[in-house]
Amino acid sequence: MGVVMPDTRIADTQAILTETKAKQSSGSLAIVGTGIQALGHLTREAEGHIRHADVVFHCIRDPLMLADLHALNPNVIDLTTLYGADKRRSLTYVQMAEVMVAEVRSGRRVTGVFYGHPGFYVAPARLALTTAKAEGYDTCLLPGVSSLDYLFADLRVDPSQSGYQAMEATDFLLRNRPLVTSGHVVLMQVGPVGDLFRPVTDNLERRAILFERLIEIYGENHPCVDYVGATRPGQKPVLRRLKLGAYRDPANLKRLSKASTLYIPPKDSLDNDMAMAERLGISAMVGKPLPVPAAESAPITLVPSTPPVMSNAYFKAMQQIALDPDAAQSFRADPVRYVTSFGALNADEQRWLAAFAKPATPVKVVAAVEEVQDQNVSTEDVQDQNVSTEDVQDQNVSTEDVQDQNVSTEDVQDQNVSTEDVQDQNVSTEDVQDQNVSTEDVQDQNVSVEDVQDQNVSVEDVQDQNVSAE
Ligand SMILES: C[S@@+](CC[C@H](N)C(=O)[O-])C[C@H]1O[C@@H](n2cnc3c(N)ncnc32)[C@H](O)[C@@H]1O
């Protein structure tokens, strides 16, 4: 699987890792995701955290994902057994969080595994992270492939075109949240809309209320896609395109599943604000669609990619840091000692490492961190208004995490070392213009949503294989 196994570590590195482990007296919590598709979506770093955990908790039902998990670590505990008939999901979540944190308190390195992106609509993971962090334990939340990422790929929706909103279906109805109909809209948890209990039932009346609200906003002829990404390798996604009005038919409401995500393409397009274009100095290009140049309109010279000049030591060290949490900790404790234990570095690598290891004192960063904290204060206000939906409440808990992350000024400082890299990324003004030119693509995308209809392989079974943790 591309993982550097411990027996390939050279002696010095091994000694450092042993030292690091010996110093780890207190527990830690890593929350990782499997992605949506079993086997294909698990990231290498998530795999590393599963492999190296003392105990792994999971909330996974897909047999392939489970097989993968058990192959990586034999010490696995199933959290799904905590769900119960007629048991409120919020109680189950508190219990899931509690059993994970209890292991952390006993000094163990715990990894919690959830499907998709583990920070995206995963209340128990948030709760466990918040609690463990508040009690002073090391925590981390690793990104994974979410259903939203998958949807962008399968429906070929580019959120850079007209923007997007993603929200939870019950929350949308309860707070009467305004939809931006000029952008892409994604509604999560449409199958179990209004359902706070487990097991999730097929409540067609509640689903009908959701669609009536959408019809009020978009009209009954506007298209939408019931999307379920494939959970098995080789399987096709479910892309069921219907007009919103078709959901007045209970048979269509019934076909929605707990894994359904509803995609609604833009309805309106917005005119350019020419005064703003003027201020930005791009009025000559805005509002007059430029023809997309043909590829042959300029000579093309293809140059084979040149491998970067990189020492074997540097590559091996970085690879191991990415895949092994012990290695990452050893590196953070003493970057120079850890990396050079792999062998000699070239001059560029030595400079990078020296800059990385140097304590940073960027005044600007402190200001920026404070700004973010101020924003968080206002997020709390918003949370106070959030009275109901359990998921929303659970998500509210997680604002504390954000604040905690802000405290980690060191991390931000570390990022500052790579300001040059960021600057390189900033050369994207042209890209922005390209995006402006391609506003027409939005329409193309709308058209392609219809195409999606043709691909509608109604693999309804796929829906039922999808996992829970709502
Ligand atoms: C509790 S949320 C969990 C989201 C998950 N953590 C993620 O990263 O996508 C459950 C919702 O995710 C969406 N979802 C889950 N599995 C899906 C799939 N295979 N395809 C599309 N959407 C899915 C549905 O909207 C479902 O109601």
Q: What's the gap in Å between 326 CA and the centre of ligand 1?
A: 31
Catalytic residue among 51, 89, 206, 240: 89
**Atom 1 of ligand 1: nearest residue by CA position:** 470
Residue 265: which of 218, 298, 319, 328 has the closest Cα?
A: 218
For ligand 1, is residue 189 a contact (CB within 6 Å)? yes
Domains and CATH numbers, the chain: 25-145 (3.40.1010.10), 149-272+446-465 (3.30.950), 312-425 (no CATH)
For ligand 1, is residue 147 a contact (CB within 6 Å)? yes
Q: 107 pLDDT band (50/70/90 cuts)?
A: very high
Rounded CA-CA distance 451/430 in Å is: 31
Rounded CA-CA distance 85/262 in Å is: 27
Q: 360 pLDDT band (50/70/90 cuts)?
A: low
- The mean pLDDT value for 414-427 works out to 35
Q: 361 pLDDT band (50/70/90 cuts)?
A: low
For ligand 1, is residue 259 a contact (CB within 6 Å)? yes
For ligand 1, is residue 83 a contact (CB within 6 Å)? no
Give the end-to-end CA distance of the chain in Å, rounded to a whole number.
Answer: 30
- The mean pLDDT value for 70-86 works out to 95
- The mean pLDDT value for 380-392 works out to 31
Q: What's the gap in Å between 95 CA and the centre of ligand 1?
A: 21
**For residue 304, what is the DSSP state?**
P
Span 318-337, pLDDT tens digits: 999 999 999 999 999 999 99
Q: Where are the alpha helices (DSSP H) in 324-398?
A: 325-333, 335-340, 347-357, 363-385, 390-397
pLDDT of the residue at 364:
53
Q: Which atom of ligand 1 is nearest to the CA of 145?
A: 8
On the question of pLDDT at 392 being above 50, the answer is no
Bridge partner residues of 138 (DSSP): 28
Radius of gyration of the chain (CA): 25
Q: Which range (114-128, 210-224, 283-297, 323-337) has the least confidence? A: 283-297
pLDDT of the residue at 102:
98
pLDDT of the residue at 401:
35
Rounded CA-CA distance 360/420 in Å is: 15
Q: What's the gap in Å between 128 CA and the centre of ligand 1?
A: 20
For ligand 1, is residue 257 a contact (CB within 6 Å)? no
Active site residue 263: no
Q: What's the gap in Å between 259 CA and the centre of ligand 1?
A: 5
On the question of pLDDT at 261 being above 90, the answer is yes
Active site residue 247: no
Active site residue 89: yes
Q: 266 pLDDT band (50/70/90 cuts)?
A: very high
- Dihedrals φ, ψ of 99, to 5°? -65, -30
> Which residues have C-beta within 8 Å of that of residue 353, sequence separation ≥ 6?
335, 336, 339, 340, 345
Q: Which atom of ligand 1 is nearest to the CA of 36?
A: 19
Q: 305 pLDDT band (50/70/90 cuts)?
A: very high
Q: What's the gap in Å between 457 CA and the centre of ligand 1?
A: 19
Rounded CA-CA distance 328/455 in Å is: 44
Mutate to test the pocket of ligand 1, among 121, 198, 460 (most ligand atoms within 8 A of CB): 121
Residue 179: which of 213, 151, 152 has the closest Cα?
A: 213
- The mean pLDDT value for 348-366 works out to 75
